[in-house]
Structure formats: C-alpha cells, structure tokens
Chains A and B, each alone.
Chain A
C-alpha cells in the first residue's frame, strides 16, 4: 500500500512537482503560495530558487522548459500580474519540457490587496487551468498538468486558493518519475516571437484550446456524478467540497479543468438535471460561458462574487430551513493584525508620526502602519508602488508638496520592483525621500530570503547585494543608513533628507524580531514609583503594553521582546530593562 501522509495543499503541490520529475522551480514568496517553494526545496532532485519577483521567476521556469526539462513557477494571484508579460507570450511559444504555473488566489482576502480571479487571466492568455479540490488532488493535478502541458504544447496553470493551499488532508505518496531531458533543438519559429513567427503560433494556440475543450470531455479530472436529477451543480475546487457537504445526494459535475471548458460534457449534464446551479467562488467565469451556449443556469444572482464561500453559506441560501440552529455571535472588540512587539517598523513610524509626515506605502508588514494608533501610511497599491507613486505626486503638485511625504518600502519589496521605481525617480529628477525599512527578510510571508540577505532558498550563503551600494551606484548622493531604534538620529536624518531638493534614501536597519537568533536579551519592566501616567509609552500601540485602571502601565513579560522603544519614549525613566526570565 502506498504511504499516506497528511499534507498542506501547498506541500502536496510540491510533492506533485517532485513526483512529476520537475527539475527547476522558481518563485517569489506571497501568501498563500509561499509553502510550495518551502517544501519543494526539501527535494534535492529539484533546483529551487527565490527570484526577486514573479516575472523573473516565470522567465526562469520558461527558460528551463525551453531547455527540455519540466519546470514550475509559483506565486500568489497578484504575482501573476507581474508575471503576465512572459506568461502571455509563453502561451504562444508553448513548451519544451512541461511548464506549470501555480497561481494561488485569495478569496476572502486573508492576506492580499485584492480578490482577483486568475481564471480571467488564463482566459485572456489562452492557457488551460486545472483546479484541485483537496490535497490529494493538488498532488495528482500537478502531475496531470505536466502531461497536458507536453501533449498540447502549452503552459498550464494550476489554480489553488487560500483554503486549499492552507488546508491539510491525506495524500498517498508515489515515487518520482524520471523524465529524460528533451534534446534541445533550435526552433526560431517556436521560440522567437517576432511578428511573423507569432502569427503562426497564434494559430497553434487557437487549435490547441479547441482540442483541449473537446478532449477535456474525456479527461478523468472532469467528472459527472449523477444522483438526484432534480438538482445539479457545476462546481470546482474547494466549493465542490461545500456542495458535497450540503447536498450529498445532488448530481454534480466536478470540473477539474476550468479552462477551456468541456462544452459537450456540460451540455450533456445540463440536459439531465432539472435545476442547474453553478457554484464558483469570485468571478462568473464558468457561468458566463455556459449561459452563452443558451443553457439556463442559476449562478451569481444567488451566490456572491465577493469573499470566500462555505458550506454554511450554501445551506443558508438554498436550504434555509435546515441551516444549523445558530447562536448569535457575541459582540466583541475586533482584533485586527498588528505589528509585533519589538518590530522595528513601529519605531520608524513613531518618528514619522511625530514629524507629521505622510507615507506612500508598499506591500509588507509595514502596511499595518496605516491604521491607528500609528496612522502614518496613506497609500498602498502594489509591490514597488510607494516610490513611483510618490514621484507621481511630486510631478503633479511640485517638490514642495512632497516635503512632508516619504515613500516607505521593505527590503524584499525594494528588491522585487522598488529598484525600477527608484531608477525612475533618479532619471526623472524627482526629489522625494525613500525610507527602505530593512529588516533583513521577507517578513509578512514568514521570513524568506532574498537577494539582499546573503542566503538562498537552498540555504547557501552567497554575497548579499548591498542596498546602500545599489542606491549609490544609480547616482543617489544622499543615502543614509540608520539603526531603526535610534530615535534621535532617525528624527534628525528624516528632517534633513525630506528638506533636500534632491532624491534621498534612508535605510533603517534592524532585523525582524521574529527572525531566528535575533533575540533581545532583556524585557522592559515598568518602574511604578517614577510613572507619571502620561501615556507616552502607549502611543506606538505596542501590544505588550496595557494601561491599568489607575492609569499606570503594565508590560506583559511573555510578549515583550525588549526593543526598548517604550523606554526611549518615557520622559521620566519609568521603564527599565531586566534580563528575560522565561
């Protein structure tokens, strides 16, 4: 009997890559896709890397595929936007060795800036999409994706969602398939996409999509489960599980390939059930196509385009009489995510707030500086947008306007796309100030290395790209490195640099407090006899500090990381440090 293991969806995708004989994997971390690479790296047979961004990762995978081996790129949904340039044209070139892009969507916005649906991108790029429903399928579908990729000469998207990526389920393991490398043959009509060649390849693209739509009716991943003919569901992915939970006796057409759609199979299913629902999270991608064939269905008029679905939601809408007898949820204070105790970003934001400076923000933990009590970040759009949007503000309103603005961007995000934005500011003579909050890691996604940390995904030590020297090299005169916790110096530097009539960069350096080995040896403790109850220490909103009923403060020793920010802010020396006891 095959060995069985409980696996996270992302772990199962990694296992699928291993079993399919994948040799190259490239990715940029992003919730909910990160653990794919973190698990792939455990297989010595696969070369795996963190690339600086998703476009680069996609191109690395494309190159590996052209050279004749199976390759994978993985990223979150918004990463697919970054990678869409190579993706759209790789759709034309097709593949050498099988090429799979794992795209992780985030319905419900657990950790993202939007709720976009990768299936829409796939339709535009004319690339097939497979969508598994549990960990076992996640592994199996990745393997099937490589067969499809090579048979139809196409990149294949395996679409996962947060719920699938971060759910664990049983998976039976198999061995690795040893796929011989395809011999490389120069073929410019396939791999050089200049107009004349691309015209020819476009014909191929249309042909293969038609072939897949037809052959897809026989793909085992597309499965009609005929039971009660009075009600039928067309569904895929995690929503399939909700249908099975609530309607175990309904007829279900489970689509494992959601693009292109197996039209004949769908028409046949539709003809055999009385009432037909299409149950798909986010956009009505299946629904609109099925409707366009003249089939009558119920979809988004009953099920929302927003957020994550659940069995409970399906029950409430279609079977309200059987919905669980529910207790009302209690009214409780919200607990939104916050910066950790000891986070160096809190220190930087405390100074910006004191100086009443606005920040054009970026993607990372520091986005949390937008909300109270820090309230410093004014804008967050996408990776790298802080620097370029600040530049746009300056060009719109003049350089005086940005004197009380800065761009705030993390080290990993800077390496991702911030570098391009900064080159633009230099080239087009912007005068803004950029603060690179350098905590030596990709924090929000759980501490991944990048080109400026000096470590690879495989754990090898490599020369770290110096952000300071990079900024100098592109011609920025004023580049200052400051310890993020040195409040007086930080304040002085920010005042000086924002006043300047030329571009400047401040690199605030202090490693993420959650990084292994980065432990402050002490904890902060209140000195009650000196406390004047002024509340200065509470202003940055450190979760380890609370105000007691008498107005004095308590510091939770189990949460405090001993950064000493509160101590620096206390005008009365009423906070001291002592060695950690536990």
Chain B
C-alpha cells in the first residue's frame, strides 16, 4: 500500500501526544512500518502544535508534507484552518468545533476569523463535532480528544475492537472506561 499520512493539530496541552500514541499503537499492531513526529518543550505551552503519523510498508520521512495528508484531525477551529493546506485534495478534515483564542487575539493584535468551518467546507470534506461539550456531558472534559479520534477512526481501516484494545493499553488505567466511552461516542456506535 502507499504510505498513509495523518496529522493531528491543536493547542499545546490539548493531548495531541496521547492521540498520536494511540494511532502509533494501532498501526504498529496491524504490522505496518510507522513513524510519528511530535512536538515537546516550549512549543507545547499553549502554542500551535502538530503531530505527524505516517504508516505503510516502509516509511522514510517522519513528517507530512503540504498537500500529502489523508486525514487532518484538528482539536480547534483555528488550527484546522492553519494546517488545512497539508491535506490531499480528497483528504478528510475532522474538526473539534471549539474555539481557543490565541494570545494575539486576546491582546487585540489579531482577530479570530469568522466562519472557519463554512469556508473550509468549500474546499475539503469536513466532519465536525463539538467534542468538548460531549466530553463534559459524559463526565470528563479531558476525554474530548478521544471523541475526535473516534470520529477520525471512521475514515481508517481498523476494526472497532482493535481501537478499543489499543486505547486500553495506551491511556492511564484510571481513564480506560471514560476513554473507551469517548471513542465510541465519536465513532458513532
């Protein structure tokens, strides 16, 4: 198969690393060669962060190039807009319909763009969910990222049971149940 490229974009602290580790786990168990690239350190402090996941028979480059991503998972609207040009023409854009103002907007140096989702829908296949509200509803705001992952999983070729098994292996033991619930909620089942 040709190499598949997935990107996770968000705001530092939103849990992009956990999500990419679940993706790394499931692709590895399926027998693929896989490379993930993450952001640590200063950039993680509330800045814009992006994580790359590439899998296939033999993967060389650990990062995704512009115009190459099959799926972009965005944990925040503005970050969806920032990285949308990394998507392939027929790529899927999964967006958590949530707004976090960057400091440039808070201080009035810039404006948060209007109608992000509507504008992205004109160019890409967009799937949205307000995962934060859903996560609060099921009892843990932090599980929102796994809800979004569940939604993205619909666009990948791995069985539901495999996802649940990997989640069980990857997340902290105390949060297994809530994360499985969150995944199924996003998966739509």
Contacts and interface: CB of A to CB of B under 8 A. Distances in A.
Interface string B1-39: 000000000011100000000001100100001111111
A2 interface: no
Contacts of A324: 65-68
B128 interface: no
A6 B24 contact: yes
B38 to A, nearest CB: 5
Contacts of A325: 67
Contacts of B141: 558, 582
B62 A169 contact: yes
Contacts of B105: 333
A367 B43 CA distance: 13
A332 B82 contact: yes
A157 B35 CA distance: 25
Contacts of A445: 41
Contact of B65 (A111, A310, A334): A310
Interface string B100-111: 111111110111
Interface string A168-210: 1110000000000000000000000000000000000000000
B46 A167 contact: no
A328 interface: yes
A315 B65 CA distance: 10
A459 interface: no
Interface SS of chain A: helix, strand, loop or mixed? loop
B81 interface: yes
A444 B45 contact: yes
Interface in B30-88: 33-48, 59-63, 65-68, 78-79, 81-82, 84-85, 87
Given A326-B66, A327-B67, A337 B42 contact: yes
Contacts of A134: 35, 62
B102 to A, nearest CB: 4
A337 B102 CA distance: 9
B84 A327 contact: yes
Given A167-B37, A541-B103, A6 B45 contact: no
B154 interface: no
A324 B36 CA distance: 21
A324 B89 CA distance: 11
Nearest to A543: B46
Given A312-B65, A324-B66, A336-B47, A110 B85 contact: no
Nearest to A165: B40
A6 to B, nearest CB: 5
Contact of B85 (A167, A326, A333, A446): A326
Nearest to B65: A312
Interface stretch (A91-99, A123-131, A240-248): A240-248
A168 B24 contact: yes
B42 A334 contact: no
A159 interface: no
Contacts of B81: 330, 332
Contact of B43 (A111, A241, A446, A538): A111
A332 B78 contact: yes
B36 A168 contact: yes
Given A446-B40, A541-B106, A556-B100, A339 B66 contact: no
B42 A31 contact: yes
Contact of A333 (B25, B34, B110): B110
Q: Which of A332, A339, A546 has the most CB atoms of chain B within a 10 A radius of its CB? A: A332
B31 to A, nearest CB: 10
A315 B25 CA distance: 31
A471 to B, nearest CB: 28
Interface string A7-23: 01000000000000000
Contacts of B11: 335
Contacts of A245: 60-61
B173 interface: no
Contact of B100 (A4, A327, A543): A543
Contact of B63 (A310, A339, A547, A559): A310
B133 to A, nearest CB: 10
A372 interface: yes
Contact of A373 (B12, B37, B107, B113): B107
Interface in A312-370: 312, 315, 324-330, 332-340, 365, 367-368
A169 B113 CA distance: 37
Given A325-B67, A336-B102, A241 B60 contact: yes
**Sorted from nearest, which 6 A-B pairs have the closest CB atoms?**
A111-B41, A31-B41, A333-B110, A337-B47, A324-B67, A335-B102
Interface of B: 11-13, 24-25, 28, 33-48, 59-63, 65-68, 78-79, 81-82, 84-85, 87, 100-107, 109-113, 123, 132, 136, 139-141
19 contacts: A6-B28, A31-B40, A110-B41, A167-B35, A169-B35, A170-B28, A170-B34, A325-B67, A326-B67, A332-B113, A337-B12, A337-B44, A337-B45, A365-B45, A367-B42, A373-B106, A538-B106, A546-B101, A559-B100
Given A6-B36, A315-B65, A332-B81, 17 more contacts: A134-B35, A134-B62, A163-B37, A167-B36, A238-B62, A245-B61, A310-B61, A312-B66, A324-B65, A333-B113, A335-B11, A337-B45, A340-B13, A541-B106, A558-B141, A582-B136, A582-B140
Interface of A: 4, 6, 8, 31-32, 34-35, 110-111, 134, 163, 166-170, 238, 241-242, 244-245, 310-312, 315, 324-330, 332-340, 365, 367-368, 371-373, 444-446, 538, 541, 543, 545-547, 556, 558-559, 582
